[in-house]
Chains A and B, each alone.
Chain A
Amino acid sequence: MQRIRLRYTKRGRLRFTSHRDFQRAFERALRRAEVPMAYSAGFTPHPKVSYANAAPTGTGSEAEYLEIQLAEVREVGQLRKLLDESLPDGLDITDAVEARTSSFAERLEASVWELRLDGVEPADAERAVAAFLAAEQVDVQRRTKNGLRTFDARGAVIRLEARDAAADRPGDGPCAILRLVVRHATPAVRPDDVLSGLRATADLAPPVPAAVTRLAQGLLDEESGTVTDPLAPDRDAAPAFPTTAAGPSPAGGAQVPEGSA
C-alpha cells in the first residue's frame, strides 16, 4: 500500500471552488488519470483520500494538502503530472511525495496568507496593523453553524505586516498588501477574522472584498515566525526517488515556502 501526499492550488476564478466541489473534482480526476486507488471496504467503497485543513471557499491557495492511498505502486512524479493534467486549470497539483512519516496533519501548524486590499492606502493599513499587534486581545465575531460566535483573533497571529502593492499591478488607485502568519487553533482564526479585527481596532474598512491567498502551510518556527514545507520530512526520509515539482504558473514552483516577507 503506497501513500502519496500532494500539494495543490486553488487559483484565479477556481478559488470559488468549495471543499466539497474540490473533492468531487479530485475523485473524478483520479478516475480519468486511471490512478490505481485503494478503496474503503463496505457496500459503497470510496477511494481512500484524506484532506487536510482546506482553505475557505473564495480564498485562493498555493498550499493545500491531501493524501491518497494506492493499491499499486506508482512513480510519484509521473503520477503528479497525470493528475495535474486531469484537473481543470487553476486546480493544479504542484508537489508530490511518497509518505514516509506519520502524523502529517499535525505538521500543518500554521499558514501564511496574503491579503490584497484594493482601495486601501498602504499607510492606513500599516497604522491598522500596528494597532492590531499592540492589542493583547482582539475580539471578533463570526457567524457559524451554531450562531454568532465571539472569539479572540489576536492570539493566533504570529506575524502581520503591511506593504504597498507592486507598481506593476493592474488598475490604479491605492492598494495595500498584508502578509499574515497565523497559527492553526480552535476556533480557527481565518484571514477574514483578522480583517474584522483590523476594522475593530483601527476602523480599517476595505471598499472591495479583499483578495486572499494562502501561500504556505506547515511547521511553525515560533522565533522567526516562518513556516516550513510540511512535505520536507517525507522527502528527507525517502530514498532517492526524484519528484518533479512545479506547476505552470509563477508561484507553482515554490517548493519551500517562505514564511516571511
Chain B
Amino acid sequence: MPVESVFPRLEALLPHVQKPIQYVGGELNSTVKPWDECDVRWALMYPDAYEVGLPNQGVMILYEVLNEREGVLAERTYSVWPDLEDLMREHKVPQFTVDSHRPVKAFDVFGLSFSTELGYTNMLTALDLAGIPLESKDRTMDDPIVLAGGHAAFNPEPIADFIDCAVIGDGEQAVLEITEIIRAWKAEGRPGGREELLFRLAKTGGVYVPAFYDVEYLPDGRIGRVVPNKSGVPWRVSKHTVMDLDEWPYPKQPLVPLAETVHERMSVEIFRGCTRGCRFCQAGMITRPVRERSITGIGEMVEKGLKATGFEEVGLLSLSSADHTEIGDIAKGLADRYEEDKIGLSLPSTRVDAFNVDLANELTRNGRRSGLTFAPEGGSERMRKVINKMVSEEDLIRTVSTAYGNGWRQVKLYFMCGLPTETDEDVLQIGDMAVNVIAKGREVSGSNDIRCTVSIGGFVPKPHTPFQWAPQLSAEETDARLEKLRDKIRGDKKYGRSIGFRYHDGKPGIVEGLLSRGDRRIGSVIRAVYEDGGRFDGWREHFSYDRWMKCAEATLPGQGVDVAWYTTRERTYEEVLPWDHLDSGLDKDWLWEDWQDALDETEVEDCRWTPCFDCGVCPQMDTSIQIGPTGKKLLPLSVVK
C-alpha cells in the first residue's frame, strides 16, 4: 500500500514557524529507503525537540543498525514545537518522520527512546498528532506497536497504559530480534492480531508487555504483587546487553544536521557501563558490566566518522571517560593524528581522581584551556562516603591546583542537594570547598583572575539503584538548603566574587521523582497534564510545577496515594517496588545491602580492580567485564593530500 508523503501539506505551514529547517530532513548521512521494498518499518522518536534529539547516540545507532538490514527501514521523528503543533492540528497534518515525511501511524513500530521521564507528555502529543489512540487498549491493527526504550524504560510503569511494550538495556541486537518476530508474523498474515504479536514478543523474555501483567495493590496503597495474566509470559523481563563493542561500531555514518543542535561533534562511545558504584547513579547501575571499545576500534571510528561528517570536534563518550584503561594512549594518539587538522578532543565525563595533567594537555592541544568540569557531587567527606563517590578534598585541591598552574582559568564543580542523610552542614561545606579551590588557585596561578563555578541541583532517587528506597527531599527543603549555600558563598568577602553559583530549584525534581519511582497509577496524572497542555517538561519555559500538582491532586485521591507518597516517603525492605519484575541483573538484596552500607557511610570499591562484590549482573546476565589494556597503539595516519 503506497503511503504518501505529507511534505506538500507541511511545506505550506513551514514559513509560519520558528526554525523550519528542523522539520525538513535531508541531513547528511540520513537514509531514505523505498517504502514498498521493506517489510518491517520503524519510526524512531526521541521525544524532545530536534535540536536535542538529533545528536542522541541511541537513536542514531538504532537508525543505522536497522537501515543496514535488507527489507527493513527506519525513519526518525522528533517533537514538534507548539507553534507547529497548532498548525498541524488546524490543517490536519499528522506526526511525520523527517526522512521521507511519512505519517508515523503507517509504520509497524513506533519506537521511543526515553533518556528522561520528562519526555512522557511529549510522547502523548506525538501519539495524538499521529492519530494513534493514546492508550494501548484502544489500538487496532491500523496502529503501530508503540515501544519504549532508553534508561527511563527501566521503570516503564507510569507509561504502562500508553505503550504496547518496552525493552530495557542495549538496543542494537534487541531491535533486530524484534524485527524478525514482526517480519515472521506479517509474512504469516498477522495471525491473532496485535495480541498474538505482543505475545510472541513477550515470550522471548526480553520484551515487556504491560498488558500481560496485573498489578495488585494492598489496602495501604503499596503494591501487593505484579503477576502475569497469561500463560507463557515470564514473571520477569531481562535487560539486553551487547558484548564486544568492537563488533558494533555505530554510528558509522553519524547524522550531520543543517539545523543547530546541542552537540555539534563526532561522538564515539569508548566504553559502556561503569562500576565505580556511585549509589545515586542509575546509569552506572543499569549499564553494567563495563565493556571497553578497543583503542584500535576507537581510532577507526574516529577516522571514518570525521571523514563522513566534517565535524571539528571529537567527543570520547562514556560514563567516566578517563577510566578507559588506555585513555592516555587514545588521547595522545588522536591528538597526534589530528594536530594539523584543527580537530578538538573532549572528554565529557572526567573524575577528579582519574584526571591527570598529561591527559588534559593532550585534550587541549588544539583547543583553548577555558574550563575544566568535575563532579564531586557531595560537599562533605561524609556525604561522599554515603554516595560512594570517594573523591577526597585533597584529590580535588591537588587536581585543580595542577589545572590552574597549567593555564586553566575556570573550574566548574557539580553537586547534588538532597542526598540521603544530608544535613544543611553537608551542603554548606560546598562553600568551603569552593573557597579552598579559589585560594589554592590564586596561590598557584599568581593571579586573581580565576573562577570556580558551583552548579547544584536536587537529587532524584532512581529505580535499580541503592537509593531506590530513599526518601526524596521536598522541594521546599531543597530550596531552603540551596538558599543557605547561596548566602554563604555570596557572603564571603574575600573569595565570593570569584565563585559563581548556579542552581536548579527543587520543583522539577519532585515531578521527575514522581515519574521515576511511580507506578501505573501515575499514568492518569501524565494524561491529565498532557490534556491540560503540558509539553516539553524538560524545558524551563514550558514546565509547570503547578500544573503537575493540580493534575496529581485531581486524579490520585481515589487511589489512596499522593505525590509525597511517591517522592518523600522512604520505602522498606519488604515493599514490592513497581519495577521489581524488570530485571536489570542487579540483585535486589545486594542493592539493599549497599543502601545499608550507604547509611553506615561504608564505601565499596570498583570491581575492575578489586574482587567481585556480587552485585549480581554478570552471573544473572551471563556477561563479564571487558577491559584492556590491549597493548596496541594508535598510529597517526599518513594523510594523503
Contacting pair B309 A21 (CB below 8 A):
no
B494 contacts partner chain A, Cβ-Cβ < 8 Å:
no
Query: Knowing A14-B26, A88-B26 touch, does A58 contact B312 (C-beta < 8 A)?
Result: no
User: Which residue from chain A places its CB closest to the CB of B264 in the assembled complex?
Assistant: A24
A74 CA / B312 CA spacing, docked (Å): 23
Query: Knowing A31-B310, A88-B258 touch, does A13 contact B24 (C-beta < 8 A)?
Result: yes
Query: Knowing A20-B260, A45-B342, A209-B12 touch, does A28 contact B21 (C-beta < 8 A)?
Result: no
A17 CA / B14 CA spacing, docked (Å): 12
Contacting pair B307 A32 (CB below 8 A):
yes
A16 CA / B368 CA spacing, docked (Å): 34
Contacting pair A28 B641 (CB below 8 A):
no
Distance in Å: Cβ of A61 to nearest Cβ of chain B: 15
Contacting pair B21 A21 (CB below 8 A):
yes
Contacting pair A24 B15 (CB below 8 A):
no
Distance in Å: Cβ of B189 to nearest Cβ of chain A: 37
Cβ–Cβ < 8 Å partners of A20 in chain B: 260
B637 contacts partner chain A, Cβ-Cβ < 8 Å:
no
A39 contacts partner chain B, Cβ-Cβ < 8 Å:
yes
Cβ–Cβ < 8 Å partners of B154 in chain A: none
B259 contacts partner chain A, Cβ-Cβ < 8 Å:
yes
B7 contacts partner chain A, Cβ-Cβ < 8 Å:
yes
Contacting pair B309 A28 (CB below 8 A):
yes
Cβ–Cβ < 8 Å partners of B26 in chain A: 13-14, 88-90
A22 CA / B311 CA spacing, docked (Å): 14
A81 CA / B585 CA spacing, docked (Å): 54
Cβ–Cβ < 8 Å partners of B14 in chain A: 16, 58
Distance in Å: Cβ of B368 to nearest Cβ of chain A: 6
- Scan A23-38; emit 1 where CB is below 8 A from any B CB, else 0: 0110111111010100
Cβ–Cβ < 8 Å partners of B7 in chain A: 13
Cβ–Cβ < 8 Å partners of A28 in chain B: 28, 256, 309-312
How big is the B interface, by class?
20 to 34
> Which residue of the partner chain, among B15, B23, B24, B312, contacts A14 with CB atoms under 8 Å?
B24
By DSSP majority rule, is chain B's interface helix, strand, loop, or mixed? loop
Distance in Å: Cβ of A92 to nearest Cβ of chain B: 12
A43 CA / B12 CA spacing, docked (Å): 44
Contacting pair A24 B260 (CB below 8 A):
yes
Cβ–Cβ < 8 Å partners of B12 in chain A: 208-209
Contacting pair B641 A21 (CB below 8 A):
no
> Which residue of the partner chain, among B11, B258, B264, B312, contacts A31 with CB atoms under 8 Å?
B312
Distance in Å: Cβ of A204 to nearest Cβ of chain B: 17
A53 contacts partner chain B, Cβ-Cβ < 8 Å:
no
B25 contacts partner chain A, Cβ-Cβ < 8 Å:
yes
Contacting pair B258 A17 (CB below 8 A):
yes
Cβ–Cβ < 8 Å partners of A16 in chain B: 14, 20-21, 23-24
- Known pairs A21-B21, A209-B12. 19 more at Cβ < 8 A? A13-B7, A14-B24, A16-B21, A16-B23, A16-B24, A17-B21, A24-B260, A25-B28, A29-B310, A31-B310, A31-B311, A32-B307, A32-B308, A43-B368, A45-B342, A57-B21, A88-B27, A88-B28, A88-B258
Residues of A in contact with B (beta carbons under 8 Å apart) = 13-14, 16-18, 20-22, 24-25, 27-32, 34, 36, 39, 43-45, 57-58, 86, 88-90, 208-209
